[in-house]
Amino acid sequence: MNLTEKYPYIVIEGPIGCGKTTLARKLAALYPANLLLENAAANPFLPKFYQDAERYALPTQLFFLFQRTEQVRELSQRDLFGGATIADFFLEKDPLFARLNLNDEEFKLYRQLYQHLLLQTTTPDLVIYLQTPVEVLKKRVEQRNIHYEQTISLEYLAQLAEMYSELFHHYDASPLLIVNNENLDCASDEAALSLLIGRIESMRGRREYFNPRLDG
């Protein structure tokens, strides 16, 4: 049984710059799987948000919420015809950004919409959380050189990373592999990718940890 037969719906998650999209692309290229990617470039409010967060936080967040929900709803329909999927996001991370960027009244409105839309989504068969040090996130954001991301502060990334850690500390809806991503360069190191795949395939429990410095 290969990876996608064991886990037909795999989600890779983590903060901005952790490498989730790169890993999703590589895994989908190796296995017979559909690729479901977040399309941040389609959000017309995102560049404006990085220029004026207070003004554009709500429309930015609502656009992402509806976009992500529609993508996952399409996944549910696709499941009727079979086929595996590897995604670089899941809806449960959406409130992290909302709580970080919205004021209390905006967040109250957001939560009402989120709770309604969450009922229409599909639960992953496996979630891979790429736990990455803040300094590494900042370096990778700078390296990928998306112009509107260059204003992201170290403080913002630190807050976001802490919220991700809190989310996955409590997450139990799917089997979860928490990966120490500091020294795991799956983008350019095929040995690192093979090491990670081997660790995923060996999973037996619902919550496991992978630290390549110790396990590799």
Nearest in space to 30 (alpha carbons), one of 179, 188, 185, 194: 194
Percent of the chain topping pLDDT 70: 94
38: pLDDT strictly greater than 50: yes
Amino acid 216: pLDDT: 45
- CA gap 132, 15 in Å, rounded: 8
Q: What is the 3-state secondary structure (H, E, C) of 74-87?
A: HHHHHHCCCCEEEE
State pTM to two decimals.
0.91
> pLDDT tens for residues 141-166?
998 878 888 888 899 999 999 999 99
The CATH superfamily of 1-7+30-124 is P-loop containing nucleotide triphosphate hydrolases (3.40.50.300)
Residue 7 has pLDDT above 70, yes or no: yes
What was the pLDDT predicted at 10? 96
- Rg of the chain's alpha carbons, rounded to an integer? 17
User: Which pLDDT value is given to residue 104?
Assistant: 96
Whole-angstrom Cα distance, residue 124 to residue 126?
Answer: 5
pLDDT tens readout for residues 74-116 = 776 665 456 899 999 999 999 999 999 999 999 999 999 999 8
Q: What is the pLDDT of residue 146?
A: 82
- State the span(s) of the chain assigned CATH 3.40.50.300: 1-7+30-124
